[in-house]
Amino acid sequence: MPARPFIVHVALQTPSHSGVGDLLSYASERPLAPGTLVRVPLGAREVLGVVWDADEATGELPEGATMRAIAGVLDGVAPLDLPWRRLVAFAARYYQRALGEVALAALPPQLRDLKPEQLARRLRRPATAVGDNSNAIQNIALTAEQESARARIAAGKGPFLLFGSTGSGKTEVYLRCVQEILEADKGDGFPAQALVMVPEINLTPQLEERFVGRFAPRFGPGAVVSLHSGMTNPQRLKSWLAAHCGSARIVLGTRMAVFASLPGLQLIVVDEEHDPSYKQQEGARYSARDLAIWRGREQGAKVLLGSATPSLESWHASRPPTPEDPEGGRYVRLHMPSRIGAGALARVRRVNMNQQPRRTVFSAPLLQAITERVARGEQSMILLNRRGYAPVLHCVDCGWKSDCPHCSAHQVFHKTDRTLRCHHCGFTVRVPHHCPSCGSPDIHPMGRGTEQLEEQLGALLRNVQRPAGEPARIARIDADTTKAKGALEAQLAQVHSGEVDVLVGTQMIAKGHDFRRITLVAAVQPDGALFSSDFRAPERLFALLMQAAGRAGRDAAYMAAQGTQCEMWVQSFHPQHAVFEALRTHDYPAFAAQQLKEREEAAMPPFSYQALVRADARTQEVAQGFLSAATAAAHAAGLPGIDLVTLFPPVPLTIQRVANVERAQMLMESPSRAALQRFLAAWQPVLQTTRSQPEHKGLIRWLVDVDPLSI
């Protein structure tokens, strides 16, 4: 008589807001440990799932019951451990997403497609050679500030906020902390592992080079792996498996790496922790920085956040105790104010553009400073956070503008390929020879982008020569010039080798890069963020400008040999603004104190907690109507926590139409994080019920964004 099958509960990816539960039950011939990867039937498809812990014990199938059976077990991969499953469950609960959605998104895409026999073939491939444990790691001598930070991290539990000036050597502190946890591993359990996160893909190659150079001789070339979306699916699977089985001791990655399976995790480093790129903007809108803090606490790993311009949330959380606030913050703040080699921070020079001729792009003093540096063989960097040639084309006669037909936004003029391109939906057309509205040939670009700056600098510096007599060389780095594989690395190599005299680019050149010959940085149009409706705009602008200023003068010996001082130029119509005043003295603590005071008075984060609900529909009326109806239903039901939550009326997004979809949002705010979470959890079924009502037929989707970074 055949044995009864066992019931196993599986987390798998189901359609968003489908009403399908977090876990589906399947029949198995044998009991399976939680965390086991399985392939199961779902409708007409076969998909990957993760066996999950269930409230009730996994047992035998009741007499007479029928259940779909598991299709296969990926026995070659060890079960995902309890700390990983707890991290996924917390992220799904906190960010209001389905458990299976978060769990499966955290796994490499190729793993979702491989059958057990295909995976077994992959796992039979030879492993990477290990290093020679007798090799000593070649360290750089630490400064007194670096050594103090390292010692405090080694002696304490954290979390730690390493507040270090640009060029103060934060990366070397990271390297030493990683080295200590790896060398302290006695080999009596799972190998010790470290996770090091950076905000953007373009920062991983240079960091990987330093980590491989430092640790590969001792622990082997496979001890350091990367995890980011720029890798191919086979590469991501290989790195993930190496981390999961312990052969990879160090994982470098972007925000997705926070979900890497690291059973031996003992240290998490979040570099440039203030960067908004750590916040996912699609699907489960998680903050990798915040999840790193949670994961470190749950898994007993130390967490080190690093930045020259910390987020105000982290700065507030690391406040030292005072008589008025005897407990202080939850983080330990470590300060490294000095640059390596006693290099000076950039002198900030402000140009009042009200006193410059109309339509001036480069003021005469700034142009003269750039010219002098080219003549001396030094490099300059020009920052403009807008790609393309111009934000819009405009007809002088009838006022026509190059609006996108599918979005409430302009199509950007790209002169290089003579196209008008929408940066929201991607719709592209050729530049018209005449105005499409009135036929006038008098159409002109309005505003400026990096393409135009590159062109104008070429004209202004055409007679300027380098020390050897060659003409000045100008390069541009932005999302348009780095599309091809390897393009960014090649362009950065040109800058590092001195082949470029003036580098023009967007924010992707302003952070993390260790340019050794740049002595001048200029922000030509930074005023746009000064008067934004988003309360975080000043914080983001200050961080961007401080990070950009930090690219200048990083090599103290080079600066001394040149006999020059590094400079940060800011061209503004509001040069006395508080942001530029704080930038002038490189005084982040003063800027943070002023911003936190304003936020406390206005009861804004970090002194309150927020969430957004966004609705996408065929019309704005349907989108806002859905949100209004869901709000009314929440009040009528008296949902838990609603007495401590303020629900603001729905409004259109700043760009309210994208790809012919209308978008509306509503903000929720509460002084209590727990009350907001209770309310959101109780509101989910209300939102689902509201969506099914006939008057909301045109609704396409809705989503919740907890702790939003932009409103």
331-351: pLDDT as tens digits:
999 999 988 876 788 899 999
| Same-domain pairing of 537 and 678 | no
pLDDT at 130: 60
User: Is 566 marked as a binding-site residue?
Assistant: no
The per-residue pLDDT for range 493-552, each reduced to its tens digit, is 899 888 999 999 998 888 777 788 899 999 998 988 888 888 999 999 999 999 999 888
| Same-domain pairing of 228 and 241 | yes
pLDDT at 56: 45
- Reply yes or no on whether the pLDDT at 652 is more than 70: yes
Last-in-domain residue among 448, 467, 482: 448
* Residue 212 placed within a domain: yes
| Same-domain pairing of 420 and 376 | no
CB neighbourhood size of 418 (10 A): 10
Rounded to two decimals, the pTM is 0.92
pLDDT band at 57 (very low <50, low <70, confident <90, very high): very low
CATH (domain of 237): 3.40.50.300
125 vs 189: which has the higher pLDDT: 189
Mean of the pLDDT values across residues 11-31? 80
Alpha carbons 311 and 330: distance in angstroms, whole number: 15
User: Is 177 marked as a binding-site residue?
Assistant: no
216-230, 295-309, 383-397: range with highest mean pLDDT: 295-309
Last-in-domain residue among 407, 430, 448: 448
Query: 3-class SS at 619?
Result: coil
* Residue 159 placed within a domain: yes
- Reply yes or no on whether the pLDDT at 426 is more than 80: yes
Mean of the pLDDT values across residues 376-389? 91
Could you tell me the residue range of the domain that residue 242 belongs to?
144-336
Query: 3-class SS at 155?
Result: helix
| Same-domain pairing of 509 and 594 | yes
Q: DSSP alpha helices (H): ranges in 603-648? A: 620-637
Are 199 and 252 within 8 A, CB to CB?
no
pLDDT at 527: 87
Are 258 and 292 within 8 A, CB to CB?
yes
Mean of the pLDDT values across residues 466-483? 90
pLDDT band at 65 (very low <50, low <70, confident <90, very high): low
* Residue 39 placed within a domain: yes
* Residue 131 placed within a domain: no
Alpha carbons 661 and 225: distance in angstroms, whole number: 40
| Same-domain pairing of 549 and 637 | no
Q: How many domains does the chain have?
A: 5
Q: Strand (E) positions, 60-185? A: 72-73, 160-164
Apex 279 CA angle, 274 and 280, nearest 5: 160
pLDDT at 561: 85
| Same-domain pairing of 283 and 330 | yes
User: Is 395 marked as a binding-site residue?
Assistant: yes
| Same-domain pairing of 552 and 665 | no
Alpha carbons 78 and 604: distance in angstroms, whole number: 45
- Reply yes or no on whether the pLDDT at 127 is more than 80: no
* Residue 139 placed within a domain: no
pLDDT at 488: 85
pLDDT at 60: 58
* Residue 137 placed within a domain: no
CATH (domain of 684): 3.30.70.260
Which residues, at least 6 apart from 27, have a Cβ–Cβ distance to it below 8 Å?
Answer: 5, 6, 7, 8, 61, 67, 68, 69, 70
| Same-domain pairing of 82 and 173 | no
User: Is 435 marked as a binding-site residue?
Assistant: yes
pLDDT band at 139 (very low <50, low <70, confident <90, very high): confident
* Residue 690 placed within a domain: yes
pLDDT at 447: 87
| Same-domain pairing of 297 and 200 | yes
The per-residue pLDDT for range 155-195, each reduced to its tens digit, is 999 899 999 988 889 999 999 999 999 999 877 778 999 99
Q: DSSP alpha helices (H): ranges in 256-311? A: 288-299
| Same-domain pairing of 349 and 498 | yes
Q: Which of 62-71, 234-243, 294-303, 655-664 has the lowest mean pLDDT?
A: 62-71
Alpha carbons 477 and 491: distance in angstroms, whole number: 7
pLDDT at 559: 85
CATH (domain of 33): 3.40.1440.60
Average pLDDT, the chain: 90
The per-residue pLDDT for range 580-625, each reduced to its tens digit, is 999 999 999 999 999 999 999 999 999 999 999 999 999 999 999 9
The token pair that represents 18 in the structure block = 């489908």
User: Is 422 marked as a binding-site residue?
Assistant: yes
* Residue 1 placed within a domain: no
pLDDT band at 58 (very low <50, low <70, confident <90, very high): very low
| Same-domain pairing of 657 and 549 | no
pLDDT at 212: 93
Last-in-domain residue among 448, 471, 488: 448
| Same-domain pairing of 584 and 462 | yes
